[in-house]
Structure 1
Amino acid sequence: MKSKWGRLRTSKLIGRKRECEMLQTAIEADGELRVVYVTAPAGVGKTRLLAEVPRLREQCANVEQTKILPLLDFYFTDVQSNSSLEERILSRLDRGPFATYLERRDEFERRRKDGWFESGIEEQRAELAELFIQGFNEFTKNARVILRFDTLELVQYEPDEVQKVFGLEERGIEVRSWLRTVLPRLKNAVVILAGREKEKPQVWAELQDAFAPVLGEVQVLKEADARSPHVMMRLGSFSADETADYFEDLARVNPRIKQARISRDDARAIHEKTGGDPLNNAFFSALIVKNARLPQDMLAADAQDIQQRLVEEMTHLQDGLDFVIPFMGWMRKGLNAELLHGILASRPEYPDWSQKECERLLEVAKDLPFIKVHEESNLLFLHDKMYDLVDEYILPGRSPVEKEAVCNVALAFHEEGSPEWLYYKLLLNPADGFSTYQELSDEAILGNEYGRAMRLRDEMLRFFGELLKDRSPAARRPWERRIARDAAIRWIRQYLAQGKFKAAQEVSDRIWAHDDPPFDRPPDDPLFLGALLLNRGEARGYLSQWDEGLDLLGQAIEVLSAWQPDTQADKKRRARLLGIAHRDRGYIYRSLEDYSRAKEEYREAIRHQSELDDLGELASTEKNLAFVFAQLGDFHRADEYITLSLDHFRETGSRWGTASSLNVFASINVDNDQPDRAEQPCRDALEMLSEIGDSRTMGLT
């Protein structure tokens, strides 16, 4: 399939001469760390300049001593965690210098899966970062590495209402912290960071502060010279002459632009309408090739009419674009031939195109100036500004059935539980998608995957930010309240999961004392009230404040037991919370050596946990109930429940859980005067704990 209209991209980068010179100078500064920021609003050419860097490298005197890595774009969640970002960098480097780092990273991931860390996860992650830096600097003794990062504004998590009201800081274990702490310590490297400075100014300020002790204060481009190691480039729109240069170059590669005979005066007239914005210039070029002339009426139209007509014309540049562009408007996580073919096959009214035909159409689409291609995945995206225009002028007229077809195909394509997958669940049905987010976040917190929990949260917050931005305050309020209250509970659960019980108590008490919306406690929200009471009680239980803990947990159980949820998702949340509340009361009674009451609470916990798919929580409660039965002298029941616990822990793959249950199994047999049955479980537990590195529990074993 060939484009009807020919190439719509210039043969070379237009303008940016000073910027290119500075980038070449940075590449040629052997042995030094050089940092260049590239900032601009959407549509001005940040990504285009980043794409020029490989060509600039080829012109450098030290090209043979340099290594350029693929673009690392924070739009994609696979580079929004430390481990995955480090792996993307490592994938193009010799892994030899990173041997110690790789060994410790494997150990870190095993411990995360096992659910055990000898010290806090932040400390373990900091140690890994240190080893990564050592490996990188060993590698760069023999090669200069060029790192390019795009969409930098997305590394700052969206602040939720809890952070705003109570001043909570996000955890420092993810990419935002990694950039600040790792990049300034790299040697013999060029670091290019691009994004929209005005959207998240704090990210840029933090990075400049981090690099300043090493490289000195940042210098703006016009004040910098060849020796400047720390430079800020703020890209602007084209000048009138650069707009004319753009159309002249395009005429060399596109016969229809040449046929239209766009003079430099014509280009200046276009410049008056576009303000020199590169993307708007590109829209005009597409309009010219479609008409083989410059439509003079467009030069007389107002800005809104121009935008609407341009977008409508864009969708008819090529057969197939009239449905591909709306699809891309929904598919914010990218489109490829496999996805396009799946969507077309899902509806009888769509063209019956093979996947090969879809590939050919998308190859043509790559030449359009408002479409971007991700280097490694080959996924196609609309330009950011084009997404806004498609939202305004095209998607409102499309059928909900089309959107459903797009979402279902995308959900089958993306990994279940990933932030990309969550986006399409939210797009398909925001209410159901939010419930899915809650389940995924619960799972991540329980699995010590705090970075994943934050990425899921960020995806959800961005989605609802876009969904609600144009709605009235009254229409926004129910969602804002629901999201804020869920965030409040989630912050406390993270503190509890990390063993930060004092912080959990303080934050939960501050939320309880806050009477203003959205953190007030109306009777129509038993989920929020019950969860908040539960968390306050759990924190006190683990701080040995037994009486207060039992009282608050009892209140939580009363509220949640009286609640009759309507949806299946809320029924699962109710069962989860009641399971936790009874488990926590069982823990307190066990600590008080009131084993009869502990037994009843653990049994109730298991009744609720059995309604869920969380075998890890169930196995832990079964282990505790087995211990309690042994203390009550009922060794038959103790043996029954510890066997269930071991089976369930083994099914989850948790070696730490399995080892802890083996310990309890051994102690039950010792208490039952059967020490011969205790020896092998102890040996098995010791072997597992030794592999995990849990010396404390080994001592108890």
Structure 2
Amino acid sequence: MPEIPRDKFVGREKEMQVIEKAINSDLSDKNYFRIVNIQGQGGIGKTSILREVKERLKDNNNILTTSIIDFFDIATNTKIGFLDELNSLLPIKTTAQFKEYRKAKANFYEVEAAGITGDVKKDTLAKFFASFKMCYNFIAADKRIVLLIDTFEVVQKKHGEWLVGWLIGLNNTVVIIAGRENEKWQELAVKSAGSRHVDYLELKKMNSNDTKDLLNLSEYGRALPDEEREKLEIISKGLPILLIMAVDREWPPGGIRGGIQPGKEYTEISEKYSLERLQEIEKKDSEKLEKIHKDFKKELIEKAYRIFDIDPIARVILYMSLIYKYLTADMLNYLMPGKTKDEIEGLLNEINKWTFTKHDPRTGSYWLHDLVRDLINEYAWPEIAREEEERKSIYKRIVRYYEEILIEGIKNEKERLFSERKKANASDDKEKESECFRQLINLKAKRQHYQAHQVYYDIMADYEHGIIRYQMQFVYNLWVREKDANVLLQQERDMTLNALKQSYSEIETKLDTSKEKIVFHRKFDQGLSDLESIADQWAKNENLYQYTDILLYQGIANNYKGEHEKAEHIFKETIVLLDSLDKQVRDQEIHILKVWQIKRSQARCYGHLGYCYFQTGRFSESIDEYNKALEYAKGIEIDSERSQLFNDLSYVLCRLGHFERGRMYWQKGFEIREKLLFKSPIALSLNNRGIIEYLADVPYNGKKYSEKALNMFKDISDIRGIGLSSRALGGLLARIGDIESSIEILEKAEGHLEEAEKIFMENGAVPSPFYLAETYDRMALLYEHWARILKDQGGDDKKKYFEKLEDAEKYYNFRTPDMECLIL
């Protein structure tokens, strides 16, 4: 138990007066809004002020004070994560406003999950933000809300501008926001909200009276003479955390009897200098003062390292200095198997009493103040473990914990929820189905956070393999349209490399950016230009895997552009190089991540070569390549990739008349996509089944699949999907209209095909001529059917008959030589 626990607060009365005035002003004004912006260096006491505000308001029933939302927590430092956390801190209502909010939130998640971008995503996101604000203000009509935010510097550059824009629409609210670099944001806040709505508090070092009050909280501190207190104030630069560590007899945990150093009454640094000398240095020599300050911090930590191996609380703090992303009782239990879970939780509860620890009750995780963490890593660890391998071994165990416990747990929970959702769907229990989906969305977010954490620890354990994990996860997120997950990944990567004093190379950054342009933004020419600029550098560096990666994405971009001959040549060259790499790793002991990285590239390369042949009508060759891709994808469990391969393969088989095999592969792909849950890939599969039934000349069976797909695409505003399902449904209805000799059905078919043609001509969502070719073919057949029916019905109106024949001929003539091979 520390002598100075975290709930002790002294000083900062001027700052507290400003905050209390902001909170208590104009309580009857329901439109009241104010920001208190607190800025200061690490360890100056920003978090302590937020805790004190929470403490002083805990019994005030007229004010709702949130827990501290700490942007250091990766789960809260995205826009959606911040709103989710804030939502969890507000009282739940069952009013119409909150129903509208939940609906808007569900719609946004569906759009995000489907990988839809552009105006559709912006609109649904804007509706989500607006509906949340409406619900928030509904609560604020009853009582004033004090919103506490910490570690703002983490998100200031990412979305500080968005945050101030969103905050100023809140009613009856005081936002107290603390961070290290808030000066520029202060200007933005004043510009957006107006100076009368914003207070700015820049925390300086504690004054002499505050320092005295703080030191008097400990028995040792009360006994210090005034001169020693003044010296401590100078050499600590007035940082409260350092002052507490200097005078609390329980630091380090377990304490060292006999003073700061055995046989010394005061700290070594304070004994080394007179007060007059320190005062002179403070005034005239900032570099010298900085060195003294650094030596003082080193001394505070050095006295602790000797007991880290024998004191259990100290051992936990040692782990916390390394595992500061998601340290929980379960994780410690995994790392310290000799202790029971109750013992572990007891240790964490004790540690949580210290002012330099933070605790998130939502996740059950703990972390050290970054100043203390940095001191332990800089000064204590090198003495405890002189060899870097000991620290790396801990990081490796954490990586295994994430893999074996956390991420595997997500998979198991997902299976359970999927089963429940399926039962709810079968029994038409919409409420249960919706709840399962909400939980699955939360699981998805948790998985993204875990994977980002894991990348951090993997890089710390082994730079090369950690970067491989990062790059594999980055690419996976691109292909499944999880762009926000990559923001988290990049943030963790940069934080890790900064800690290691390394940087992500310019070439690797450019390669990642080019992949993003090709896969996510479909900016093929820009992506190809970037790849071309780095290809020679990587070839010269003889980094064969990265060179094959460049080639692979050159092939993918050309394939999407319709440059199939060029793409085929690149894919074949890439396959030769990847096969040679595959042989190398089989002949050596290679880390499993490297093996997976190569096999995934092989799966993707064969799959895209299959797609190349598919788009040029070489269906037998396409089947061969898809089967090879499936072999590689099967071994590394890439569900999204396997589902795409099964889906494409089913279509190609049916183009060759193998309908039963095609339906079998379709079913395999559909089952995988159902487990992935999200509407866009499910709708693509349903639409593909409609086309399969069209090819098998069973249009009545196919109609229900394409109709369902069209409704799903419209529900999530997927323009490309609407075009695909409209084309398929138009063809199916045209065939049914032909069978039933129904002009009415043909008119419906014409409407769907015209919609598809418009989308493929104007939207630019489909880069190849393939979909437009099939649309023209369906149109030509439609008008042939129409003309024949008119002729069979007889009558005097020959003009309509010839018009339909001319329409049919027109659409047949739209075919280009490139399209001919694609038409049945």
TM-score scaled by length of structure 2 = 0.69
Contact in 2 for aligned 1:286/1:314 (Cα 8 Å)? no
- Alignment of 1:235 with 2:203, yes or no, is yes
How far apart are the structure 1 equivalents of 2:581 and 2:156? Answer: 37
Residues 487-546 of structure 1 deviation map (CA, whole Å, 9 limit, x = unaligned): 333323333333x222x4314413422589xx6542521222222232233233323344
- Kindly tell me: are residues 105 and 698 of structure 1, through their superposed partners in 2, closer, same or farther at Cα, counting changes over 3 Å? farther
Q: 1:683: Cα distance to partner?
A: 5.4
**Pairs aligned (count):** 635
CA distance in 2, matches of 1:285, 1:576: 57
1:366 and 2:352 aligned: yes
What is the deviation of 1:336?
4.8
Please say if residues 579 and 606 of structure 1, whose CA atoms lie closer than 8 Å, have aligned partners that are also in contact.
yes
Q: Do residues 274 (structure 1) and 231 (structure 2) align?
A: no
Is the 1:599–1:628 Cα contact (8 Å) retained in structure 2?
yes
How many Å separate the matches in 1 of 2:633 and 2:477?
Answer: 18
Shift of 1:115: 5.2
Establish whether residue 501 from structure 1 lines up as the match of residue 469 from structure 2: no
Q: Which amino acid aligns with 2:84?
A: E
Structure with bigger gyration radius: 2
Evaluate the alpha carbon distance shift between residue 621 and residue 83 of structure 1 in structure 2; reply closer, same or farther with a 3 A threshold. same
Q: Quick check: 1:300 aligned with 2:271?
A: yes
Aligned equivalent of 1:563: 581
CA drift at 1:382: 2.5
Amino acid in structure 2 at the alignment position of 1:313: K
**Contact 1:270–1:299 at 8 Å: present in 2 too?**
yes
Q: Does 1:329 align with 2:340?
A: no
Change (3 A) 1:118 1:597: farther
Structure 1 residue 306, shift from structure 2 partner: 3.5
Report deviation, 1:27.
1.4
Match of 1:349 in 2: none
Q: Which amino acid aligns with 2:481?
A: N
1:491 aligned residue (500, 503, 513): 513
Displacement of 1:76: 0.8
After superposition, give the CA deviation of every residue in 1:398-441 in whole Å (9 maximum; x if it has no partner): 45457635763653665565133433333343433333333333
CA distance in structure 2 between the aligned counterparts of 1:644 and 1:8, rounded to whole angstroms: 62
Q: CA RMSD in A?
A: 3.5
In the alignment, the residues of structure 2 paired with residue 325 and residue 450 of structure 1 have an alpha-carbon distance, to the nearest angstrom, of 35
Secondary structure of 1:332's match?
coil
C-alpha distance in 1 between matches for 2:629 and 2:606: 5
Residue type of the alignment partner of 1:311: I
Quickly say closer, same or farther: Cα 1:559–1:413, change in 2 above 3 A: closer
**Residues in 1 aligned to 2:145 and 2:548: alpha-carbon distance in whole angstroms:** 53
Aligned to 1:139: 139
Cα pair distance change 1:464/1:183, threshold 3 Å: same
Task: Quote how far apart the aligned CAs of 1:279 are.
Answer: 2.0
* Structure 1, gaps ≥5 residues long: 158-173, 218-227, 347-352, 470-475
Partner of 2:69: 72
Q: State percent identity of aligned pairs.
A: 20
Matched position secondary structure for 1:70: coil
* Residues 124 and 578 (structure 1), Cα distance of their counterparts in 2 relative to 1, 3 Å cut: farther
Which one-letter code corresponds to 2:155 in the other structure?
A: V
Deviation digits for residues 225-276 of structure 1, max 9, x if unmatched? xxx322322211122333223223x1xxx44544xx2233331132233232
Matched residue, 2:652 = 628
Per-residue CA shift, 1:552-581, capped at 9, x if unaligned? 444444443443453332332233233333
Given residue 384 of structure 1, which amino acid in structure 2 is its aligned partner? D
Deviations 1:191-225 (A, max 9, x none): 2221221xxx7xx63x44543443235xxxxxxxx
Alignment partner, residue 784 of structure 2: none
Q: C-alpha displacement at 1:460, in angstroms?
A: 2.0
Judge conservation of contact 1:133–1:186 (CA < 8 Å) in 2.
Answer: yes
1:313 aligned onto 2:299 = no
Distance 1:365 1:387 in 2: 14
Q: Is the 8 A contact 2:395 2:460 kept in 1?
A: no
Task: Show the counterpart of 1:223.
Answer: none
Alpha-carbon shift at residue 8 of structure 1 (Å): 1.9
Give the alignment partner of residue 573 of structure 1, picking from 597, 607, 623. 597
Secondary structure of the 1:291 match is: coil
Given residue 533 of structure 1, which amino acid in structure 2 is its aligned partner? L
Aligned partners of 1:371, 1:647: CA distance in 2, in Å? 46
Change (3 A) 1:575 1:235: same
Q: 1:682/1:337 Cα in 2 relative to 1: closer, same or farther (>3 Å)? A: closer
Give the aligned partner of residue 786 of structure 2.
none
Task: Rate the CA distance shift 1:367–1:312 in 2: closer, same or farther, 3 A.
Answer: farther
CA distance in 1, matches of 2:622, 2:211: 77
Instruction: Trace 1:445-484 onto structure 2 (pairs within 5 A).
Output: 445-467=478-500, 469=501, 480-481=504-505, 484=506
1:528 corresponding residue in structure 2: 546
SS of the equivalent of 2:35 reads: strand
Do 1:329 and 1:395's aligned partners in 2 also have CA atoms closer than 8 Å?
Answer: no
Contact 2:571 2:605 (8 Å CA) reproduced: yes
SS in 2 for 1:98: helix
Does the aligned pair in 1 maintain the 2:706–2:725 contact within 8 Å?
no
SS at match of 1:38: strand
1:196 corresponds to which of 180, 203, 216: 180
- How do residues 664-679 of structure 1 correspond to structure 2 at under 5 angstroms? 664-679=688-703
Amino acid of the structure 1 residue aligned with 2:726: G
State the match for 2:9 in structure 1: 13
SS in 2 for 1:35: strand
Bigger share in helix: 2
Question: 1:164 maps to which residue?
Answer: none
Q: Counterparts of 1:180 and 1:520 in 2: how far apart (Å)?
A: 43
Kept in 2: contact 1:689–1:697 (CA 8 A): no
CA, structure 1 residues 661+243, in 2 after alignment: closer, same or farther (shift >3 Å)?
closer
- Residue 148 of structure 1 corresponds to 148
The CA deviation at 1:378 is: 5.5
**Retained in 1: the 8 A contact 2:151–2:179?**
yes
- Counterpart check, 1:387 vs 2:349: no
Provide closer, same or farther for how the CA distance between residues 594 and 64 of structure 1 changes in structure 2, counting only shifts above 3 A: same
Q: Secondary structure at the match of 2:248?
A: helix
> How far does residue 459 in structure 1 lie from its aligned partner after superposition?
0.9
CA deviations on 1:682-701 (whole Å, 9 max, x unpaired) are 45545655665655455333
Are the counterparts in 1 of residues 35 and 176 from structure 2 also a CA contact under 8 Å? yes
Letter of the 1:510 partner, please give it.
Answer: D
Q: Show the counterpart of 1:215.
A: 193
TM-score for the superposition, normalised by structure 1: 0.80
User: Are the aligned partners of 2:673 and 2:681 in contact in 1 as well (CA < 8 Å)?
Assistant: yes
Q: Which has the higher contact order (CA 8 A, sep 6+)?
A: 1
Q: Does 1:699 align with 2:732?
A: no
Classify 1:181/1:558 alpha carbon distance in 2 versus 1 (closer, same or farther; 3 Å): farther
Equivalent runs, 1:608-687 vs 2, <5 Å = 608-682=632-706, 685=709
What is the deviation of 1:330? Answer: 1.6
